[in-house]
């Protein structure tokens, strides 16, 4: 991991943790509980485009579990933490592991072809 990547990792992580704390602190179990949806949208935007694959796969898995067993994931603080953890992990992996490795390989292949 380069120094520039490491320096960007801290603010990104801090923003994600702040989003989690705000979502948990403002969660309301009543009928107007949209904070979990807002968190999902913001976290999906931060980890786009990998988040599209993860959210779709999670939806298919949860739908399959519901159709097989009738069980469903109750929306609440546990669901908020699960969603946040999944999207945070995929976002960090995408932006701070996969993308720098792809960029490094592309630079190496460009040097070889010259």
Q: What is the pLDDT of residue 17?
A: 92
SS3 content of the chain, % helix, strand, coil (to 5): 80, 0, 20
- The domain spans of the chain are 3-27+34-106
Distance CA 56, CA 61 (A): 9
Question: Two tokens at 64?
Answer: 């399959």
List the chain pLDDT tens, one digit each, 114 residues: 677 777 888 888 898 899 999 888 888 777 767 888 888 888 888 888 888 898 899 889 989 989 999 887 777 888 888 888 999 999 999 988 898 889 888 888 877 776
According to DSSP, residue 76 is labeled S
The answer to whether the pTM exceeds 0.75 is: yes
């Amino acid at each position: 991991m380069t120094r520039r990547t490491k320096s960007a990792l801290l603010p990104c992580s801090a923003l994600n943790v702040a989003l989690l704390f705000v979502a948990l602190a403002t969660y309301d179990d009543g009928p107007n509980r949209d904070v979990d949806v807002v968190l999902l949208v913001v976290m999906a935007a931060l980890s786009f485009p990998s988040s599209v694959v993860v959210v779709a796969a999670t939806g298919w898995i949860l739908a399959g579990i519901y159709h097989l067993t009738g069980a469903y994931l109750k929306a609440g603080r546990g669901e908020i933490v699960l969603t946040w953890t999944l999207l945070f992990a995929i976002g960090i992996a995408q932006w701070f592991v996969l993308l720098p490795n792809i960029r490094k390989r592309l630079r190496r292949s460009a040097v070889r072809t010259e």
